[in-house]
Amino acid sequence: MSHPLIDTLRQTVGAAHVLTEGDLTAWEQDWRRRARGKALAVVRPASTQEVAAVVRACAAAGAAIVPQGGNTGLSVGSIPDASGTQVLLSLARMNAVRAVDADNLTLTVEAGAILQNVQDTAEKAGLLFPLSLAAEGSCTIGGNLATNAGGTQVLRYGNARELCLGLEVVTPQGEIWDGLKGLRKDNTGYDLRDLFIGSEGTLGIITAATMKLFPQPAASLTAWAAVPSMEHAVQLLALAHKHLGAGLTGFEVMGRFALSLVARHMPQLRVPFIDQADVPYAVLLENSDSESEDHARARFEALLETAFDAGCVSDAVVAENLAQAHQLWHIRESIPLAQAEEGLNIKHDISVPISRIPAFVDYADALLQREIAGVRLVNFGHLGDGNLHYNVQAPAEGDPKAFLRDEEARVNDLVYEAVAKFGGSFSAEHGVGALKVDKLQQYQSPVALMMMRAIKGALDPQGLMNPQCLLPVAAPQLQPQPQG
């Protein structure tokens, strides 16, 4: 395929790194296979300078750019639209760790570095990079930042945003902003860093970042507690904060039905207390200790004893060793797969204030059961952050495809209306992408949307950066012009 822009891109990054032919599914289809686009070309620059040159070439040609990291997003935010006019800019070749600064507790890494490799690099330096999520073997740090990724350690260490001290960004005009200072305090103007973090590639392209590191804990222990209700889970969380302080690094809640799916489809995983009919929820707790495993165990036992006495835990087990701890986490992380084995389902990623979670769950459970016949609720998530994956499994009877076709929109409306009623967010950690642009218009404050549009217009006046995502702008004018 020939096209003036494609020729320029080939000159910029080398013909081998401009893909226009063959199977481009890996770049053009989203992770959950909900959508597929068609790129004008897939471009794989190797340096920040090459990214800037690509952006300038696209800006000159009026071509839209879709930046892509590991393409593991859950909101269809990193694939081109179907027009065949957009340039897919993959950061995958920019994966160097530029520097590890142990005394400053920072690491500077390029956007295309795989999250797990960043974790490993920190570990080799005797330090901890705490961002951790299911896709860590494939997702990239640039994508984590563009979407402000969350995961299981947010309770203690924060989202990707809170782990980032500085960014390098290519602007929509193809200029390079070097904001990579590894400073913990720097009050010299507007917070551009946090504006780019979570902007989903719509304001510019993150090419590198300086991230915080932490001392490795001396020991991490995992416990599993049966709790009599969601209210008791929230009480247990308060006790755990009080007893463990910053040692509390994980607090996951799992509903009985979610765990029963794991027990049914992965019988080799032994789910604790699943045979006790009076256990509506289980909580997985992680305690990371700077002293020793013995100390971590003693603190855990003191917490659980207090929790028993307070009636907010009915049974509990503390993993005896690392293998048992991994097993417990594996049960938690197997819920999505168990859901898939069970059949089609509707996923949510919502948050409400932690204090309102019990009332929200009561309300939403009753509402859905009343409105949608046979609905089965798969409720689990990061309770310590107020973040639930409040999913809806198709009824056991009937055609699940028909259920999704007929009911998905209504289920979403019911769930999101309930979330709004309890002061929550329709997208806690997965972002908006192209998937939820209508929800953003529906649930975000009009004043906030007005300011967001003003910012988008100010920084990307051509509207070329990931234009179908977050705040969609009209399709650019460029048409494919095959030549020769």
| 259-288 positions binding a copy of itself, by CB under 8 A | 288
If the CB atoms of residues 75 and 222 are measured against a copy of itself, the closer one turns out to be: 75
Answer yes or no whether residue 46 interacts with a copy of itself by CB under 8 A.
no
Q: 176 forms bridges with which residues in the sheet?
A: 170
Give min distance, CB of 175 to a copy of itself, in A: 5
Which residue type is seen at 230?
A: M
Long-range contacts of 475-480 (CB under 8 A, 24+ apart): 475/64, 475/81, 475/83, 475/85, 476/62, 476/63, 476/64, 476/85, 477/62, 478/5, 478/40, 478/61, 478/62, 478/63, 478/64, 478/85, 479/85, 480/3, 480/40, 480/84, 480/85
27, 51, 48, 45: which is closest to 37 by C-alpha? 27
Residues between 94 and 113 that touch a copy of itself (CB under 8 A):
101-106
Answer yes or no whether residue 179 interacts with a copy of itself by CB under 8 A.
yes
Give min distance, CB of 273 to a copy of itself, in A: 24
Interface pick for a copy of itself out of 244, 319, 361, 418 (rule CB under 8 A)? 244
Give min distance, CB of 306 to a copy of itself, in A: 13
Question: What's the rounded Cα separation, in Å, for the pair 110 and 210?
Answer: 9
Question: What's the rounded Cα separation, in Å, for the pair 152 and 445?
Answer: 28
Interface pick for a copy of itself out of 131, 352, 361, 418 (rule CB under 8 A)? 352
CA distances from 131 to 35, 62, 164, 253, 307 (A): 27, 36, 11, 19, 29
Answer yes or no whether residue 468 interacts with a copy of itself by CB under 8 A.
no
152, 125, 130: which is closest to 141 by C-alpha? 130
- List the helix and strand counts (H, then E) for the chain: 17, 19
- Give how many residues touch a copy of itself by CB under 8 A: 95
Interface pick for a copy of itself out of 97, 125, 134, 354 (rule CB under 8 A)? 354
Mask 356-375, x = binds a copy of itself (CB under 8 A)?
x-------------------
Answer yes or no whether residue 296 interacts with a copy of itself by CB under 8 A.
no
Q: 183 forms bridges with which residues in the sheet?
A: none
Answer yes or no whether residue 67 interacts with a copy of itself by CB under 8 A.
no
| All residues at 6 or more sequence positions from 292 whose CB lies less than 8 Å from its CB, including other chains | 218, 219
Asked if 266 and 338 count as a contact pair (C-beta separation under 8 A), the reply is: yes
If the CB atoms of residues 322 and 454 are measured against a copy of itself, the closer one turns out to be: 454
Residues between 143 and 172 that touch a copy of itself (CB under 8 A):
147-148, 150, 154, 156, 158-159, 161-162, 171
Answer yes or no whether residue 402 interacts with a copy of itself by CB under 8 A.
no
Mask 196-215, x = binds a copy of itself (CB under 8 A)?
-xxx---x----------xx
Residues between 425 and 464 that touch a copy of itself (CB under 8 A):
425-432, 440, 443-445, 447-452, 454-459
Give min distance, CB of 81 to a copy of itself, in A: 20
Answer yes or no whether residue 55 interacts with a copy of itself by CB under 8 A.
no
Q: What would the two tokens of residue 462 be?
A: 């051509």
Interface pick for a copy of itself out of 386, 463, 467, 476 (rule CB under 8 A)? 386
What's the Rg (C-alpha) of the chain? Answer: 23
